[in-house]
Amino acid sequence: MAIRLNSYRPLCINEAGREAIVKYDLPPFIDSSCRRDPDLENKYPSTTAVCRGENFVPRVSVDDIVVYMTRTGDYGIYADSYRVMTAVLRIIQIYASHEEAAEWYRAHQVPLPSNCMVPGNPPFPWDHTARVNSKGFNDVAEWDAFYLARTQRIPVFVRMEKLFCDIYHPPVLPNEILKEIFGKIPHTQTPPEITEEQYHKLLASLNIIL
């Protein structure tokens, strides 16, 4: 079993995202893109190659634990920029394709996660996102086409279970805690493996009991 630390850009990261939260009554700390990855709203959260490409999902195994924190941002609550820790998830199944994963979700009458890129499961509209992405896309069609190409190249789909998840009022994760535990601010473009000791220190520092 490996424990990995990952990050994402939450919907509340900017004014456009906060407008979407109010207009559509969305949880503030869900992923901000047109394909939520991770999809923390689903009963069984999922992650795919849409965000990290080959840097993450091809490297994981069943029973691995993934700790999700947000990127640093001004989330409209405190004066300073900060991170929060939103989820601790355990990988329970890895599928060879999105189609295979969709079969499981449908068979168990669970809505398809937004990052399950199969026909009949469209992306979120532009105004449901924070309208920002690393490639500078200005519309959902172009954004989604990029994701589709990436998942066709790396079709792995990961289904997880929630050990902890709070997308409304997650605990604040100060830089000081990260530096104390890891000696630095971890880089998560390729989500690093952390030790069990670091993992338990992280949970304890935020008073998270699983």
Cis peptide before 186 (omega within 30 of 0): no
pLDDT at 133: 85
**Residue 16, CA distances (Å) to 121, 132, 183 in order:** 24, 9, 34
Burial of 88 (0-12, 13-18, 19+ CB in 10 A): buried
Q: Spell out the per-residue pLDDT of the chain, length 210, in tens.
A: 999 999 999 999 999 999 999 999 999 999 999 999 999 999 999 999 998 999 999 999 999 999 999 988 777 655 466 799 999 999 999 999 999 999 999 999 999 999 999 999 999 999 999 998 888 899 999 999 999 999 999 999 999 999 999 999 999 998 899 999 999 999 998 999 999 999 999 999 999 998
Give the number of other CB atoms < 10 A from CB of residue 103: 13
d(CA 171, CA 87): 10
d(CA 18, CA 150): 28
**Global confidence as pTM:** 0.93
